[in-house]
Amino acid sequence: MNILLQCTIPYTEDDWHVGRFALLAQELRKVGDVVARNLEPDGKGDDKVLPGLSRARFDEVWLLGVDGGTALSARDIAGVNAFQREGGGLLTTRDHQDMGKWLRQVERVGKAHFFHAKEYCEPDPDRLFPDDLETKTISFPNYHSGRNGDLQRIEALDPLHPLLQRPGGGRLERFPAHPHEGAVRAPGDEPGARAVARGRSISGRDFDLIVAFEARGPHPGRAIAESSFHHFADYNWDVSRGAPSFVSEAPGDGLKREPGALEDIRAYVRNAATWLSPAR
């Protein structure tokens, strides 16, 4: 399979550029060929690749919404939507507050992402306040699943989805943690979508981690909505690899003490690549 791993900012050394997802790219290369790139806008603000996305070149796209909320142009988003209508697989992820807010313009899977902006808030008013109370500059949604470098216990929802199956049997149980994850949930008007994994914040609130979309109607490919790109970042798999200087929270040492726990997120990455592939 051919996979595009796409960050949504131009290369900036002190930011979440695609080089900070090298371990993810390495894992994806176990199951396919990977093109890993940052956004490269031209003079009109359109990326050099996204407007022309085609199944002739890629089977699936992993979109990492690491931007402040307005990264992709209208032509970029149209290219992503056309790719879905051609049957390409699509994984979308972002993080807290309004990061990756342009995802709401992506057909089908975009409706699974909820943000701070009033028109895109979670429908439950009891969730419209910060969960992470440590970093005062970050507002809701910001579910605190643990420190960067630590682990969170996840619940694989029944019926068990192929995304959460452990090789050899059983369920995946642990993901990398993050102090302020975003919000996803299955859209009520998408019968082919359901939450397949849930987490619990340190304040005791449940929140959805992964929403999976089956092929349906005008979108003959599968799709995934993820609550946080930090599930995949090098820093969250191995804090010794470092993070941008604006990351102020002290890291944890959970994965340093239990490096074998990374096998769950690695298995999930391989499961997702296989499940999303049109040639599955």
C-alpha span between 27 and 263 (Å, rounded): 11
pLDDT at 279: 67
* Entry pTM: 0.97
pLDDT at 280: 56
9 contacts 71 by C-beta, under 8 angstroms: yes
* Distances in whole angstroms, Cα of residue 276 to Cα of each of 90, 129, 196, 248, 254: 7, 34, 15, 35, 30
pLDDT at 210: 98
pLDDT at 165: 98
pLDDT at 64: 98
**Which residue numbers in the chain have pLDDT < 50?**
none
pLDDT at 217: 87
Angle value at C-alpha 170, between 164 and 176, nearest 5 degrees: 50
C-alpha span between 202 and 190 (Å, rounded): 30
pLDDT at 247: 97
Number of other CB atoms surrounding residue 112 within 10 Å: 28
pLDDT at 53: 97
Residue ranges and CATH numbers for the domains of the chain are 2-276 (3.40.50.880)
